[in-house]
Amino acid sequence: MQILREHLFKYPTYILGAVISAVASIGTMLYQPKLLQDILNAILKNNMDAIKTLSVWLIFLAVIGVISGIYNVYFAAKIAQNVTSDLRLRTYQKIQSFSFGNIEHFSSGSLVVRLINDMNQITNLLMSVFMQFLRMPLMFIGAFIMGVYTLPRLWWLEILMIILVILVSIFTFQKMGRLFGQVQIFMDKINTRAKETLQGMRVVKSFNQEANNSANFNQTSDELNKINLWIGYIFSASFPAFMLATYAAIALAIYLVGGSITSHPSDVAAISSYVTYLSLVMNAIIVIGMTATMVSRGLVSLERIKEVLDTKPDLTYVTDQDEDLKGSVEFKHVSFTYPDSKQETLHDISFKVAPGQKIGIVGKTGSGKSTLAQLIARLYDPSSGEIDLGGKNIKEVSQKTVTKTVSFVLQRAILFSGTINENLRQGKKTASQAEIEKAAQIAQAEEFISKYPDTFEHEVEERSANFSGGQKQRLSLARGVVGNPVVLILDDSTSALDAKSEKLVQEGLAKHLKGTTTFIIAEKLVSVKDADQILVLDDGHLSACGTHAELLKTSPVYQEIYQTQKAKERRSDLS
């Protein structure tokens, strides 16, 4: 609850309004039965003046009760929506600070559920607290006292009914609290399955897996359905039990009053008020129990949000100072192991790159090429060793400096909904239109952009479905170079391009980014054969380093890759 208190203190006026309106609403509700009793007594005495006066007061109280109830809902909604909005923004910002490792720990599907479903539960929690939890305890205490005041000799009947209803409530809502926790877990699973299926729909259809995926989804959905049905069963059984206890108490009260009406004639007017107070006591207990269940469900969601907020990002920055760094990169005995993995992905890597050099990174699948590149961009920190960027330990450089210095273009091109211009400006927020057009030319993207009537204002659909793989890669590459980065990492980012387009891209990079240190991760040696240095990785080790000609003479691993690809490429391309 500490998390909520931090945000609640921002809205003291709304909280005060909710408290005052709740007290006013319950006060009018508790006094109305007493007025009805006085009216009945006045009717028995045929006192018309008293009847008129009390009737006016009854109407006045009803109006006050309605107005205060409306204001209570208004203030509760204001508090719930504002606090949830603040908490959602805070959680989203925290997620933005997470590293790849943090995201993988939670999974993207779970984080989406926490931002949407769990936040809705927290909204319900706050609404319940500032409506029911404020009003029901007052109603319970007030109705109990007024019931004893109305028929003092039947005080024990109220206590008996309270004990019965509380016992049923405890049994019911304890079970429901545990079930609500399971509901959130299965909501995570369903969201993850649905997200994976929709994002991989082409794969699903290609391998005719619709039936299998439907069966898996249906299994998870059935589990969630069973839990929800159990919640429904408990609800359906609990209400008759509550009503039975209440009506039994009311019947017993009427029987006892009826048996002693001759000795207590004033009980004729009191019995209706007493029955009303019994009902209010019962309703207060039931609503408190139900609200407790909603609160317990909200607390489960709050704990899940707290888990996100309390998670420390794997990557921390010791300074906010913005610096201009040169393009030198040095690895000093760097090793790296992924979180939750026992096997090293990189082991004791050391090399040095001068500013403006073109570096190729090659190796077999799973040799650690992409991992090495991610360490340069500080998407992860090494498990041991040191990485220097521009002559400084990368851990001592601000996040702004790293992102300004290093641009990372992934093999899997990810574009966002919006326009082409908006996507390219993610590489440099203040980029001019001339800079964007130049970046598109370097990436050979202007070729297809110019064919659209709206050119750079052309819409990018969800998951960039209106672009081919090659077009997405070229747009992603343009986004990477628009900021004229000091260090550019291309993680097999031209794999979807044909040989001619790839050659034009490399020529464009060489011509327009002469001072940029470029790392090229490639499966094809033809993409890196002109590099100043080529790093050869083998099972996480740096097995060799040198030029294409040197490695052909000295590196068995490089020779094996060369011999494998020579049959597929023209000999002149690899010579």
Integer CA distances (angstroms), 236 to 169, 242, 322, in order: 13, 11, 62
Domain boundary (276, 310, 344) is at: 310
Which helix (H) or strand (E) segment holds residue 211: the answer is helix 210-259
Q: What is the CATH number of the domain that holds 275?
A: 1.20.1560.10
| Least confidently predicted of 5-14, 63-72, 515-524, 562-571 | 562-571
CB half-sphere exposure, 185, CA atoms < 13 A = 7
90 with 222, same domain?
Answer: yes
Q: Give the per-residue pLDDT at 84.
A: 93
96 with 133, same domain?
Answer: yes
Distance, CA of 557 to CA of 368 (rounded, Å): 14
156 with 196, same domain?
Answer: yes
278 with 346, same domain?
Answer: no
Which helix (H) or strand (E) segment holds residue 407: the answer is strand 406-409
446 with 555, same domain?
Answer: yes
pTM of the model: 0.70
Whether residue 317 is contained in a domain is answered as: no
Each residue's pLDDT tens digit, 333-375: 999 998 778 889 999 999 999 999 999 999 888 889 999 999 9
218 with 335, same domain?
Answer: no
Q: Which residues contact 308 (CB under 8 A, 6 or more apart)?
A: 91, 94, 95, 106, 111, 114
Residue 266 has pLDDT above 70, yes or no: no
Whether residue 422 is contained in a domain is answered as: yes
Each residue's pLDDT tens digit, 17-43: 999 999 999 999 888 888 887 887 788
Q: Which residues contact 438 (CB under 8 A, 6 or more apart)?
A: 482, 512
Contact 474/449 with Cβ under 8 angstroms? no
Q: How many domains does the chain have?
A: 2
Mean pLDDT of 312-331: 86
Q: Give the per-residue pLDDT at 375.
A: 92
**Helix 499-512 × helix 469-481 angle, to 10°:** 10
Q: Give the per-residue pLDDT at 311.
A: 87
Integer CA distances (angstroms), 240 to 243, 278, 434, in order: 5, 16, 73
56 with 143, same domain?
Answer: yes
Residue 127 has pLDDT above 70, yes or no: yes
Whether residue 537 is contained in a domain is answered as: yes
| Least confidently predicted of 196-200, 415-419, 436-440, 458-462 | 196-200
| Least confidently predicted of 163-167, 289-293, 513-517 | 289-293
Q: What is the CATH number of the domain that holds 452?
A: 3.40.50.300
Amino acid at the residue 508: G
Q: Where does residue 141 rank: exposed (0-12), middle (13-18), buried (19+ CB within 10 A)?
A: middle
Q: What is the DSSP letter of 412?
A: S
Whether residue 499 is contained in a domain is answered as: yes
| Strand pairing category for 517-521 and 487-491 | parallel
Q: Give the per-residue pLDDT at 333.
A: 94
Q: Across-strand partners of 487?
A: 406, 517
Alpha helices in 45-133 (DSSP H): 48-96, 100-106, 108-113, 119-128
Residue 220 has pLDDT above 70, yes or no: yes
Residue 291 or residue 436, greater confidence: 436
In whole angstroms, how large is the CA radius of gyration of the chain? 35
Contact 425/492 with Cβ under 8 angstroms? no
Q: What is the DSSP letter of 455?
A: G
342 with 286, same domain?
Answer: no
- Return the exposure string of 544-562: e unless at least 16 CB atoms fall within 10 Å of the residue's CB, then b: bbbebeebbeebebbeebb
Distance, CA of 345 to CA of 356 (rounded, Å): 28
243 with 346, same domain?
Answer: no
Contact 300/307 with Cβ under 8 angstroms? no
Residue 166 or residue 551, greater confidence: 551
Q: What is the DSSP letter of 458?
A: P
**Helix 12-44 × helix 267-310 angle, to 10°:** 170
Distance, CA of 420 to CA of 431 (rounded, Å): 13
Mean pLDDT of 219-224: 85
Mean pLDDT of 105-119: 84
49 with 183, same domain?
Answer: yes
> Six-digit token pair at 37?
């009793």
Distance, CA of 393 to CA of 97 (rounded, Å): 20
Whether residue 316 is contained in a domain is answered as: no
Integer CA distances (angstroms), 522 to 38, 459, 525, 534, 555, in order: 91, 31, 7, 11, 17
Q: Give the per-residue pLDDT at 86.
A: 93
Domain of 566 in residue numbering reads as 329-574
> Six-digit token pair at 98?
């997470």
Between vectors from CA 500 to CA 495 and to CA 506, what angle results, nearest 5°? 70
* % residues pLDDT > 70 (the chain): 95
300 with 344, same domain?
Answer: no
Residue 467 has φ and ψ, to the nearest 5°, of: -130, 150
Q: Give the per-residue pLDDT at 567.
A: 63
Residue 79 has pLDDT above 90, yes or no: yes
Whether residue 315 is contained in a domain is answered as: no
Residue 202 has pLDDT above 70, yes or no: no
Q: Across-strand partners of 538?
A: 541
Q: Give the per-residue pLDDT at 40.
A: 78
Whether residue 16 is contained in a domain is answered as: yes
135 with 219, same domain?
Answer: yes
| Mean pLDDT for the chain overall | 85
Alpha helices in 151-209 (DSSP H): 155-199, 201-206
Q: Which residues contact 435 (CB under 8 A, 6 or more apart)?
A: 428, 482, 484
Distance, CA of 117 to CA of 418 (rounded, Å): 26
Domain boundary (310, 340, 362) is at: 310
Domain boundary (281, 310, 339) is at: 310
Query: Model confidence at 262, in pLDDT bands (50, 70, 90)?
Result: low
Whether residue 319 is contained in a domain is answered as: no
Each residue's pLDDT tens digit, 375-401: 998 988 899 999 999 999 999 998 889
